[in-house]
Amino acid sequence: MSHKTPEEGGKEGLFRGVLNPVDRSTEVLFGLIMVMTFTNSINATDAGRADVRSMLIAALGCNLAWGIIDAVMFLMSSLAERKLSERTVQRARTADDAKTARYIIAEALPRIILPALSADDFDRIRMHLASLSADEVRARLGARDIIAALGVFLLVFLCTFPAVTPFIMMADTAIAVRVSNSIACGLLFLTGYSLGRQSGHPFRLGASMVAVGLTLVAIASVLGG
């Protein structure tokens, strides 16, 4: 998965915004889809406690493994993005002339803001980049990246527990499946609702998240996931 992490700041902002709303939503969606493929694979009419126990162990183990994998991939993608940024900065710093440096900087910026920038703006950016020390330019992972990777792991792994709790608390497997699905759908809706508050359409995005989640679970189940 592709993630974007805010640049490192002071201690006050260390724990703030380490994962943006889209990252959080996609991790929750991913975790819930994984666990729902297990909870819905169990045969509610014939399953005994041994079958339920095996399903619980498989669901927890799968989300634990994928939480670790996704956290590692997050760190790798973060470092790769910073390596690309470092290369762009180095190209701008060592450009043969101001025109070439402007072109390199323009390539790295969103196209929508380019019309608002003048040649003087690009030159100020170039001068700022040239003034940075080699240590400031060097790509590396920081504390915020580690915290964000931990957040990725926890989001994927902890999503398992609300969905599997009914199987622990209830003896009737058929009822546990229905309650588990209801909890998972509720979490999907809340995830979409939270994300939708950023765009002004919380209920629409909440319902869309439920629809997307259930569709992906159905596809995964059909394909043997």
Inform me whether the pLDDT recorded for 15 exceeds 50: no
- pLDDT tens-digit series, residues 123-135: 899 899 888 888 8
HSE-CB of 113 using CA atoms within 13 angstroms: 8
Q: Would 95 be classed as within a structural domain?
A: yes
Residue 199 is predicted with a pLDDT of 75
Residue 182 is predicted with a pLDDT of 92
Q: Would 20 be classed as within a structural domain?
A: no
| Closest of 43, 40, 49, 74 to residue 155, by C-alpha | 74
Q: Would 6 be classed as within a structural domain?
A: no
Residue 44 is predicted with a pLDDT of 57
Separation between Cα atoms, residue 6 and residue 82, nearest integer Å: 11
Q: List CB contacts of 59: < 8 A, sequence separation 6 or more.
A: 34, 35, 38, 39, 160, 163, 164
Q: Would 13 be classed as within a structural domain?
A: no
Under the banding of pLDDT at 50, 70 and 90, the label for residue 16 is low
Q: Would 18 be classed as within a structural domain?
A: no
Q: Would 2 be classed as within a structural domain?
A: no
Inform me whether the pLDDT recorded for 64 exceeds 90: yes
- pLDDT tens-digit series, residues 138-164: 888 888 889 989 989 998 899 889 999
Domain that holds residue 65: 28-222
Average pLDDT, the chain: 83
| Closest of 143, 110, 134, 120 to residue 14, by C-alpha | 143
Q: List CB contacts of 212: < 8 A, sequence separation 6 or more.
A: 29
Residue 196 is predicted with a pLDDT of 85
- pLDDT tens-digit series, residues 44-62: 556 677 778 888 888 899 8
Inform me whether the pLDDT recorded for 12 exceeds 50: no
Separation between Cα atoms, residue 183 and residue 107, nearest integer Å: 45
Inform me whether the pLDDT recorded for 189 exceeds 90: yes
Asked whether 156 and 30 are in contact (CB, 8 A), the reply is yes
Residue 14 is predicted with a pLDDT of 45
How many structural domains comprise the chain? 1
Count, residues in the chain: 225
Mean pLDDT value of segment 15-39 = 79
Cα–Cα separations (whole angstroms), residue 165 to 34, 40, 156, 176: 15, 14, 16, 9
> What global pTM score does this model have?
0.74
Q: List CB contacts of 25: < 8 A, sequence separation 6 or more.
A: 191, 192, 194, 195, 209
Q: Pick from 4-8, 21-25, 119-123, 132-136 the range whose average pLDDT is largest.
A: 119-123
Residue 186 is predicted with a pLDDT of 92
Under the banding of pLDDT at 50, 70 and 90, the label for residue 80 is very high
Backbone angles phi, psi at 118, to 5 degrees: -95, 175
